[in-house]
Amino acid sequence: MRMEARYPSRATMHRDPPLPLPSLRHFSIPERRAEVARLVGLAPAELEHALRSGGLDESTADAMVENALGTLALPFGVAPGVRVNGKDYLVPMAIEEPSVIAAASNAAKRARKAGGFVAEIDPSIVVAQIEVHDIADPAGALARIEGAAAELVARANEAIGNLVARGGGARRSSVRDLGGGMIVVHVHVDCLDAMGANLVNTVAEAVGARVAELARGTLGLRILSNYCDERVARVRVRLPVEELASARVSGLDAARGIAQASAFAERDVYRAVTHNKGIMNGVDAVVLATGNDWRAVEAGAHAYAAREGSYRPLATWRLSDDEQALEGQLALPLALGIVGGALRAHPGARLALALLRVTSAAELAAVAAATGLATNLSALRALSTEGIQRGHMALHHRATGGPSERGPRTTNGSGACEPPAAGEAKLPR
């Protein structure tokens, strides 16, 4: 039984005033920090402190992991003006790859003109798995466990009383026969605004012994699953084809190319993997910036892509019947949190959430998914028109101090200099 989506509802959809959209690319880093601090109401010194040394000092790092030697920083940037469900976000992104933030910003700007992205997010359900083996009578075990469903949920909730007090907790249990005398019980836990790993592991261990007793078998693993197929983020966008035009390519031709690229990914696993990597460029950058577990997100996303037995693209694009609009949609599991985890220790992660102004894990998932659909749109638009390298490599050379450090200079047929068009990423001058 899938619960009704918690976010958004008509009563709670954001209608904040539009966020001012300065062109940050021409600013120095201190100027960008000052402008971003002004936009979100932070003191510039507070932002500077949170980002110093990658946002993490050595003593904190030593407390977080074993055998720490220091810290390894990543670039931390923002994609301005990502509109989701009527609210504009300044989206923090932590990533080492050039052009990803530019791609997200460019696609978000195009989508914003058309009303932005629309997102629906499932409740924050994470599954606790209890595996039992050496069962002589699996059918009898299933019957006994199904009959004790209410008891198992009650035991689970006794172990996570604080979450229950906040409105979350175990919602139901289910059981499956895996064959060979092995079964698995799932306890479905609503983790609210937490990612939920520690909470759900607590549940698994709290009910494990009773499950094994009911099954009359040997207790095996008790742990969460990172495949959160009941915690899915769904995002869609509809853009008039003219919003996709460039100086070299008409909007209709660009839209047709994007739809064709989507069809390619739907038919070929080699392309689907790279298609999804482009989505995760945006998603992971937001997940990492906000102190969430990007490895869990990646694992769950790729499992979801293969849920029907073959690996498929997470996002698809279609040209409308009248060829006036391009329609894109994305669905993937996103178990994210705005409390607990690295957020307790990492000033940079806390800063990222302050920049976002999100009030729930569901809202964070909506922004992360929209950012992934944005990076996918920019990548497909570049690939299906002029190729990915023209804009991407200009930014790559800048990152590595190569010949395009001061910005790419390309020529049109008349020999006049033009800015890059492929990724629509223009460099600071």
| Distinct helix (H) and strand (E) counts, the chain | 14, 12
| 314 φ/ψ angles, rounded to the nearest 5 degrees | -75, -25
Q: How many CA atoms lie within 13 A of 240 on its CB side?
A: 6
**Which residues, other chains included, contact 11 with Cβ-Cβ below 8 Å and sequence gap of 6+?**
none
CATH of 24-122+232-385, one of 3.60.10.10, 3.40.50.150, 3.90.770.10, 3.40.50.300: 3.90.770.10
User: Residue 321 pLDDT > 90, yes or no?
Assistant: yes
Domain extent listing, the chain: 24-122+232-385, 125-224
The three-class DSSP label of residue 14 is coil
CA distance 118 to 243: 18
Looking up tokens 């894109």 gives: 328
Identify whether the C-beta of residue 200 lies closer than 8 Å to the C-beta of residue 296: no
**Which residues, other chains included, contact 377 with Cβ-Cβ below 8 Å and sequence gap of 6+?**
107, 110, 111, 237, 258, 317, 328
Could you tell me which CATH number the domain at 125-224 has? 3.30.70.420
For 81-124, the pLDDT digits (tens) are: 999 999 999 999 999 999 999 999 999 999 999 999 999 999 99
- Hey, which residues are catalytic here? 97, 277, 293, 392
Rg (C-alpha) for the chain, rounded Å, is: 24
Q: What is the mean pLDDT of residues 33-43?
A: 91
User: Residue 5 pLDDT > 80, yes or no?
Assistant: no
Which pairs from 218-223 meet CB under 8 Å and 24+ separation? 218/132, 218/133, 218/134, 219/130, 219/131, 219/132, 220/130, 220/131, 220/132, 220/133, 220/182, 221/129, 221/130, 221/131, 222/128, 222/129, 222/130, 222/131, 223/128, 223/129
CA distance 202 to 199: 5
Average pLDDT, the chain: 89
What pLDDT, on a 0 to 100 scale, did the predictor assign at position 394?
61
Q: Do domains 24-122+232-385 and 125-224 have the same CATH topology?
A: no
Q: Look up the pTM and report it.
A: 0.88
In eight-state DSSP terms, residue 20 is P
Lowest mean pLDDT among 10-19, 72-81, 166-175: 10-19
